[in-house]
Structure 1
Amino acid sequence: MIVATRKECIQAARQYVRRLGREQRSLAVMARQMKDLQRELDRMDGLGSSGNMRGDGHARGAGGSLVESILERKERVRRQFVAIERKRDDLQFRLMLYEQALAGLDEREAQAVQLIDFEQRTRLDASMKLYVSERWARTLEKRGLIQLATVLFDMMDEKTAKDLHWNEMDELLQRRGADREQPEQPGKASRDDSSMGE
């Protein structure tokens, strides 16, 4: 069981949501890549059924090497297609989990997380969209991230969490362990929660 501080939960959830937001923008690129690869596979299927590759005698020998070349190329393209398809399906599944988790949050907190972290807008922009002060937008975001981390962890077993690349918490905990071994530097202030009054 992972035990983490409030600040570490916020950092882990923030990194996860921001990464997901960046990856979500790559879905359109993946769709185009898959379409191009499918078109190439269809074209090679057409070549395979053409009469040019079924000649007799000497032509058959020449056609045989052409067939092998096309089949090798086709297999490479098919592997590329499957790899992109798996990556797309994994991303869509993680986006679905995120949307389900977001739906369980307070509406204002969910909006703050979506604007500041997923869409990576400035806190000033988010505060204007939410009709609140910039400081309150930051508070709503942090509250939302805490709840989001809890909900997402509840939705995932440990193996799924690792499969979905939720490694931020482990990294933060390892860093915290390393920090404990180092002597604390005087005058080092916490940046993240200074405005929360914790």
Structure 2
Amino acid sequence: MKQQLVFATNNPHKIAEVKRQLGDRYTFLSLQEIGCTEEIPETADTLEGNARLKARHVKDGYGYDCFSEDTGLEVLALGHAPGVDTAHYAGPERSATANNQKLLSQLADRKDRLARFRTVICLLVGGEEHLFEGQCEGRIATAPIGHDGFGYDPVFVPLEGDGRSFAQMTQDEKLRFSHRARAMAKLEDYLKKRQGATHPTA
């Protein structure tokens, strides 16, 4: 029997990534599918805080065990900005194109273009809270490259890769390096252990 999980997001790209990674072992419900249509405040000053806020909103308001994530792009030369402001770096409309343009403009005269993506997942299950983190080290390209992916994918080049940006990779290739995939792998490992402890074999 598949385990049902509420993923506290309506971002179709994030849902698709997670489904592709975990396959048919889980059934995911989005915020829309549980009737949560309001904007959930992300007012914390850390990724951990924002992930916790979103998960708590779902648990307290709708009663579901769930998980939520917050992801930040941290650029060394910019003092780890945009960080918690990653999604709305260029404004509240959360335009990926505008965000990328602002980032490239801020780095126009910088030689140091090292950056990292960091994802923090907050899981609320069985009355307990657990945090899982995944990171991907990389650099910021001098111009957008590639047409796939979403967000900052066209300008982020993982150091572990072959020089292509996330937006030039297939979904499976991106999962090999993805910060979100690494955090999700830790979450899945915990769920497997928890399920084994709850339903031990005879």
TM-score, with structure 1 as normaliser: 0.23
Structure scoring higher RCO (CA < 8 A, sep ≥ 6) equals: 1
TM-score, with structure 2 as normaliser: 0.22
